[in-house]
Amino acid sequence: MKLITKKRLKHLSWLSKIELRREEREFEEQLNEILEYFKKLDEVDLKGVEPLYHVLELKNVFREDAPKPSNPGEMLKVVPRLKGRYVRAPRIK
């Protein structure tokens, strides 16, 4: 059974805000092939195993609530389009 159908690919493309044009047909096949390989994970018995999100045994890494000066001039230099000091983005509707 193919997991990546045309319909699903369209949905994934919408979710990830990536338009697929020429790549579409090629991707369908490649992605299915890769997912087929991922099926390998089904072979392992994982009953009672907890996921390991962090390899380190770290906890409670905090920062003090003390302000540091910002450097807005530098930050705005990389913005492609500004309007005054606002970052200009496309319309919402």
Partner 1 sequence: MKVKIGLEVHVQITSLKTKLFCSCSSDYRGKEPNVNVCPVCMGLPGALPVLNEKAVREAVKVALALNSKVSRRMFFYRKNYFYPDMPKNFQITQYDRAGGVPLAMGGYVNLDGKKIRIERIQLEEDPGKITYEGTIVSSPVSLIDYNRAGIALIEIVTEPDMESPKEARHFLEKLRSMVEHLGICDCSLEGAMRCDANISIEGGKRVEVKNISSFKEVERALNFELTRQLTLSKRGLGVRKETRHWDEVRRITISLRVKEEEEDYRYFPEPDLVPIEISEGLIEEVKREMPELPEERGRRFFEEYGISKRMAEVLISKKALADFFEDATRDGDPRKVVSLLGEALSYMNREGKELADLNLNPREFGILSKAVAEGRISERMAKDLLRRALIKSKPLKELMRRAKKQISDERSIAKMVDEVVRANRNAVMDAFRDEKAKDFLMGEIMKLSKGRADPRLARILLEKRLEEVKTESF
Partner 2 sequence: MRVKKKALELVEEFEGGRSVEEYVAKLLERIEKKDKELNSYITLNGQAIEEAREVERRIRSGEKGKLMGLGIAVKDNISTKGLRTTCASRMLKDYVPPYDAEVIIRIRREGGIVLGKTNMDEFAMGSSTESSAFGPTRNPFDLNRVPGGSSGGSATSLAASLSTIALGSDTGGSIRCPSAFTSTFGLKPTYGRVSRYGLIAYANSLEQIGPMGRSVEDMALLFQVIAGRDEKDSTSVNVPKEDFVKEARKGAKGFRIGVLKELTEEGIDEYVLKAFWRTVHKLEGEGIGYNEVSLKYLDYALASYYVIAMAEASSNLARFDGIRYGLRVGDRGSWEDVFSKNRSKGFGKEVKRRIILGTFVLSAGYYEEYYLKAQKVRRILKESFDSLFKKYDLLLAPTMPILPWRIGEKQKPLEIYLSDVATVPANLVGIPSLSMPIGFHNGLPIGLQAMAPPFEEPKALRLGYEVERTGVVP
CB of 22 to partner 1, least distance (A): 22
Distance of CA 5 to the CA centre of its chain: 21
Distance CA 43, CA 51 (A): 16
48 sits near partner 1 (criterion: CB under 8 A)? no
> Min. distance of Cβ 7 from partner 1 in angstroms?
11
Interface ranges with partner 2 (CB under 8 A): 3-4, 8-9, 12-13, 15-21, 23, 27, 30-31, 33-35, 37-38, 40-44, 46, 49-56, 58, 61, 63, 71, 74-75, 77-81, 87-93
- The backbone torsions φ and ψ at residue 25, rounded to the nearest 5 degrees and listed phi first, read -65, -45
The Cα 5–Cα 32 span in angstroms is 9
